[in-house]
Amino acid sequence: MAEHESHAPQEATAQVATAGARHGSEHHSFERHGSEDSVEQRHRKILVFAHVGRKEARDAARQACTQLYEEGLAPVMTRSDLETLSENWDEPVPVQVVHESVALIDIELGVVLGGDGSILRAAEMVRRTSVPLIGVNLGHVGFLAESEESDLTETVRCIVNNEYTVEERMAIDVEVWNDGKRVHSDWALNEASVEKGNREKMIEVIIEVDCRPLSSFGCDGVVMGTPTGSTAYAFSGGGPVVWPEVEAILMVPLSAHALFARPLVAAPTSTLAVEMMPGNGASGVLWCDGRRTVELDPGSRIEVRRSEKSVLLARIHPAPFSERLVRKFELPIRGWRGPQDTEKH
């Protein structure tokens, strides 16, 4: 896992339309200070991505935007999030709109307010750029999040002062093939899971690594994921916990009826595949990061390989991964004594 220092925004390579002319009269509140201090001219642009369907996320987004603006940075949101946020915002600050008044590649950093699902959605949004994300957990476990809701003010302060590092997390590209034709392409940060489409009927699959078959069995599904996803769906399926520094692709069978149906850890250069055997006529479903789906016909072939583009996650707490595991999963460590000095003096 590589680390980088916080970086300045990249030069825009695409033209964007100016927001305000079409929407200014309808949403004048978030642009009313534009003549006093042009937010468009502020060099550092921070995307605020929130699960605005929840009140606590809306409140946190307003707080983050206000603090960023007061510190001289330019808060940025999506049009739909901003329209929801601007309702009942008593003292709004200017907020730019991504893809309209600012290009996505001009964003320095994305602040994600929500749970792991929100971080995965934000990762999908920025995956073709070099925009790092920092998560503020408003959910339950929030394993991908860097800080908690109570630390929001301090988190924004660290962003303002460039007090963060950036680490790479590998992602995977996913392809679905049928009759020798690629019929679907997708992407995931955590995992791609092939699952049965009928509750009563399991799927028959052949698993493959690097164009070589390993085994066939009936199962409820197969998860193919990244080290980042090892604490997500693969974890609940009995897969190993893999440290983020390790580069690998995982394969975890779900409720498989076979002796050799163990979790596999393959090289990051490997291509993993699941072939759905057409014999029993069972269809399946492909899930990527638990939210995007496509129907899988009998005989479908699903291939997974490392994506060329990594996802960047910003960190302000340099704690080891083991500490994050203990904290997030509330693991019992009482009685631990630590390394003992065996040297005799």
The rounded average pLDDT for each run of 10 residues, N- to C-terminus, in the chain (345 residues) is 44 32 35 47 90 92 96 96 89 92 94 96 95 93 92 97 96 97 97 91 95 96 98 94 96 92 96 94 93 91 97 93 92 92 60
Domain ranges of the chain: 3-169, 172-306
Query: What DSSP element (H or E) covers 249?
Result: strand 249-254
Active site amino acids: 116
SS3 state at 167: strand
Q: Are the C-beta atoms of 296 and 192 separated by less than 8 Å?
A: no
The predicted structure's pLDDT at residue 31:
39
The answer to whether domain 3-169 has CATH 3.40.50.10330 is yes
The pLDDT value given to residue 342: 64
pTM, whole model, 2 decimals? 0.84
- Residues contributing to the annotated binding site for NAD(+): 116-117, 121, 190-191, 201, 220, 231-236
| pLDDT value at residue 40 | 62
Nearest to 170 by CA among 68, 251, 247: 247
pLDDT of 4: 47
> What is the spatial distance between Cα 135 and Cα 314, in angstroms, rounded to a whole number?
8
Q: Which CATH number fits domain 172-306: 1.20.1250.20, 2.60.200.30, 1.10.3720.10, 2.40.30.200?
A: 2.60.200.30
